[in-house]
Amino acid sequence: MTVTKQIEQKHQEDLQRLRGFRLPDDDFLTKCFEGDTTSIELVLRIVLEKPDF
């Protein structure tokens, strides 16, 4: 297998793994919003339906 094909195969495997993530999963959510309080507040406003959160 050529290096290019190995890289492409690895890329496809990574994409497949990413498709399995969902934002509500604890580890994924934590990493996505790490240190980003503005985004966390926005998600809470949407989920809680409280624009004045």
Residue 11 CA to residue 18 CA, distance in Å, equals 11
Residue range 1-19: mean pLDDT, rounded: 92
- HEC string of 4-22? HHHHHHHHHHHHHHHHCCC
Q: What is the mean pLDDT of the chain?
A: 86
Q: Please, which residues have CB within 8 angstroms of residue 53's CB and are 6 or more apart in sequence?
A: 41, 44, 45
Structure tokens at 7: 């890289």
pLDDT value of position 53 = 67
